[in-house]
Amino acid sequence: MASNEPGTDAPPPPPDASSQIREAILLGVVGLVAVGGLLWWTAREPEPEASELRGATSAHPAGFTRADFVGDDACADCHPSIAVYHERNGHSRTFRPAADRALAQQLDGREVVDFERPGVTWSFLLEDDRFAVERRQGDRVDRLPIDYAFGSGYHATTFLSVLDDDPRDFTLREHRLTSYADGSVRITPGQGMDEPSPGTDALGRILTGEDAFDCIKCHVTLTSMTDPDTVDVHSMIPTVSCERCHGPGRAHVEAARRGDHPDDLAMPFGPGRYSANDQMLLCGACHRHPSQAPVAALRPGNSELARFQPVGLMQSACYIESNGALSCTTCHDAHDRPSRDASSYTATCLSCHKPSHPSQTPCPVSPSQDCTSCHMPRVDAGQGIRFADHWIRVRDDTEVEPPGDASRPH
């Protein structure tokens, strides 16, 4: 078995050099040196190097103003099919006013008992386009408005209220109850009595300062027009929009409308102009990057890593030893929901692991079928939410530790 230490071994010849080069050209990563994981490992924050990444790895790119952002609708005019994919992807649904959601209608009138606090019940209500929850304990009733629904609900939706919208004193309440994809309404991760995060009380968790900022930053495109280190709900751009990944679009749209040559239509972050490592930085800014993780957490048994795809993928021999030919978009369309068709992933595995290739050892167990079920199984990363483990490897199932609460993601 190959070493899982990144950057320690010189890469052996790739499985099939010519097909890898073709693939590399398709991916646009040819000519870029594969930087060992070690370089980023030692950096505390992902540090964008390539100039294209300006604006892409941070929620608030330097040198741009709010007016440079034109919004997803403007992109849809000329990229209609990408817009349709993006619209159903979690990225475009991850931060919305709570009352606008069908979920608010579904929960209206629903009563939930507080499993940890006998005698306490919660009920949701939607009145005059305002969504709220009431907590009842004996004669006491607390009514808490719900401003935002966080998370598409593909896994879960957590409710937030803005208690102070002054950017300097921005204060949030993360509600005690979260709606999970299985239809249950349960305690929000990190608020259980066994693992209460700082600020947790009977009504939820109060977030101020950096904590409130952090909660927002990965679910939006821009936290504030005026001060990049604050949240301003009046000038923020919610959800992970086209321009969160590609950078502000005004200049591109104006050039396209003028009919400029396609060569002059480059976006700050566009296909063909970045390496696999750059992509790890882009996606890893939110899906987490190994440079943000304590080294001790990067071990095969840590099931919580399953939630952090770039962290897992970058430990895989596939990533380390394929000279920059493997990135998220080898398996996923960055715009669409992840495919649920296992055979599509098998085809990708086999594009490198060709059973017929003389220099490749085919899988001794299953040379041509069903790769992900054994090498990328779903793992409980906490709260019963199961993620496909992106640390592709030969697994010893006895190694899996049950998820704890120490490295809670949020």
- Residue 359 found at the interface with ligand HEC (CB under 6 A): no
Compute CA distances 91 → 56, 194, 242, 249, 353, whole Å.
15, 31, 9, 18, 31
Amino acid, res. 167: P
**Among the listed residues 115, 153, 114, 110, the one whose alpha carbon sits nearest the alpha carbon of residue 133:** 110
Site for ligand HEC (CB under 6 A): which residue of 19, 348, 377, 400?
348
- Residue 307 found at the interface with ligand HEC (CB under 6 A): yes
- Residue 161 found at the interface with ligand HEC (CB under 6 A): no
CB of 362 to ligand HEC, least distance (A): 7
Q: Which residues contact 17 (CB under 8 A, 6 or more apart)?
A: none
CB of 16 to ligand HEC, least distance (A): 9
Q: How far apart are the C-alpha atoms of 167 and 357, rounded to whole Å?
A: 59
Which of residues 91 and 101 has its CB atom nearest to ligand HEC in the complex?
91
CB of 272 to ligand HEC, least distance (A): 6
Is the Cβ–Cβ distance between 200 and 207 less than 8 Å? no
Site for ligand HEC (CB under 6 A): which residue of 394, 401, 404, 406?
394
- Residue 1 found at the interface with ligand HEC (CB under 6 A): yes
Task: Tell me the DSSP string of 160-229.
Answer: EEEEE--GGG-EEEEEEEEEETTS-EEEPTT-STTSPPTTEETTEEEEEHHHHHHHHHTTEEES-SS-TT
Site for ligand HEC (CB under 6 A): which residue of 122, 131, 170, 387?
387
Site for ligand HEC (CB under 6 A): which residue of 83, 222, 236, 237?
83
What is the token pair recorded at 337? 């929901």
Window 174 to 203, contacts with ligand HEC (CB under 6 A): 174
Which of residues 31 and 364 has its CB atom nearest to ligand HEC in the complex?
364
Site for ligand HEC (CB under 6 A): which residue of 9, 47, 77, 201?
77
Window 264 to 283, contacts with ligand HEC (CB under 6 A): 265-267, 270-271, 279-280, 282-283
Task: Tell me the DSSP string of 338-405.
Answer: PP--HHHHHHHHHHHS-TT-TTSPPPSS-SSS-HHHHHS-EEE-STT-EEE--S-S---GGGPPPP-S
Window 105 to 144, contacts with ligand HEC (CB under 6 A): none
CB of 261 to ligand HEC, least distance (A): 9
Site for ligand HEC (CB under 6 A): which residue of 326, 383, 391, 403?
326
- Residue 332 found at the interface with ligand HEC (CB under 6 A): yes
| Stretch of 43-51, 100-108, 135-143, 339-347 lying at the interface with ligand HEC (CB under 6 A) | 339-347
Instruction: Count the neighbouring beta carbons within 10 Å of the beta carbon of residue 70.
Output: 18
Q: How far apart are the C-alpha atoms of 7 and 338, rounded to whole Å?
A: 29
